[in-house]
Amino acid sequence: MSSTITAGDPQTRPARSAARATGAIAAVLLAVALFMTVASVDVPHEPSDQELLTWWQDSGNRTSGVISGMWALLAACMVAVVMGHLRTLSAAAKAPRWLAFAGSMAAAVTAVWLVTGAARAAIGHLVDVMDEPLPGVDVLRAATAFNYTLLGLSGMAVLGLFILAVSVVVLRTAALGRWVGYVGLGSAVVMIAAVVAQYGAYTTPLGILWALCLAVAIWRQPDSA
């Protein structure tokens, strides 16, 4: 005698509840990681050579760069977890092309933000872990510019496209509350436009807002979804 376990079967509810909690926590951690990546370090803007060199000579500032890099690594990992949760939603399969695009953008976000994390931690690791001398001001200036460009251009571009793809999936399939789809759609459009205008880094709060809204939407998702 056999029995079939359906989506609404009580036996499946604990597993679905655990998956929902994992997805919601991952989205919250993504928001925290995005915030801390930019908040934990503040390299001076348009500094003189001496100001830049003095800033990097402070071991506390180098440590803040490493910490910022660690948060960027966490952001990369949490995007992968969030995407994994989205793939488990049966309703999301109704938009296969957009779901596939979301998956490719999640992979791109993970890759770019892993590189972002390494770049932000590079100088601190070089000097404080490998006991190498502090590079010259030209290298420090190039490294600083690379960090800002990597986050504000590549990092925010792929994040914006990921948010856009997830939002379209939600709006087309109602896999989550449609309201989070509209929040994500608006955030993504502004983020991508800002990237084109070379101000992508300033839209980080929109990514944080979307991640927190996504956490709420996942948490409120019914176990039968």
The secondary structure of 51-118 as a DSSP string is HHHHHHH-HHHHHHHHHHHHHHHHHHHHHHHHHHHHHH-GGGGGSHHHHHHHHHHHHHHHHHHHHHHH
Q: What is the pLDDT of residue 1?
A: 39
Residue 27 included in any domain:
yes
Measure the CA–CA gap between 169 and 212, rounded to whole angstroms.
18
Residue 185 included in any domain:
yes
Residue 225 included in any domain:
no
- Domain, as residue range, for 42: 19-219
Q: What is the mean pLDDT of residues 172-197?
A: 95
Number of domains in the chain: 1
Give tens-digit pLDDT for 36-46.
999 998 887 78
Q: In the chain, what is the straight-line distance between the N-terminal and C-terminal CA atoms, in Å?
A: 28
Are the C-beta atoms of 121 and 66 separated by less than 8 Å?
Answer: yes
List the structure tokens of 220. 């409120």
Residue 11 included in any domain:
no
Q: What is the mean pLDDT of residues 91-103?
A: 93
Query: Residue 179's CB: how many other CB atoms inside 10 A?
Result: 13
Q: What is the pLDDT of residue 4?
A: 39
Residue 3 included in any domain:
no
Are the C-beta atoms of 143 and 122 separated by less than 8 Å?
Answer: yes
Q: What is the pLDDT of residue 225?
A: 54
Residue 26, exposed/middle/buried by CB under 10 A (0-12, 13-18, 19+)? buried
Q: What is the mean pLDDT of residues 190-201?
A: 94
12 pLDDT above the threshold of 70: no
Residue 108 included in any domain:
yes
In 3-state terms the chain splits into helix, strand, coil percentages (rounded to 5) of 80, 0, 20
5 pLDDT above the threshold of 80: no
Residue 4 included in any domain:
no
Pick from 203, 214, 195: nearest CA to 83? 214
* Torsion angle in degrees (nearest 10) through CA of 141, 129, 71, 42: -40
Q: What is the pLDDT of residue 105?
A: 95
Measure the CA–CA gap between 169 and 144, rounded to whole angstroms.
37
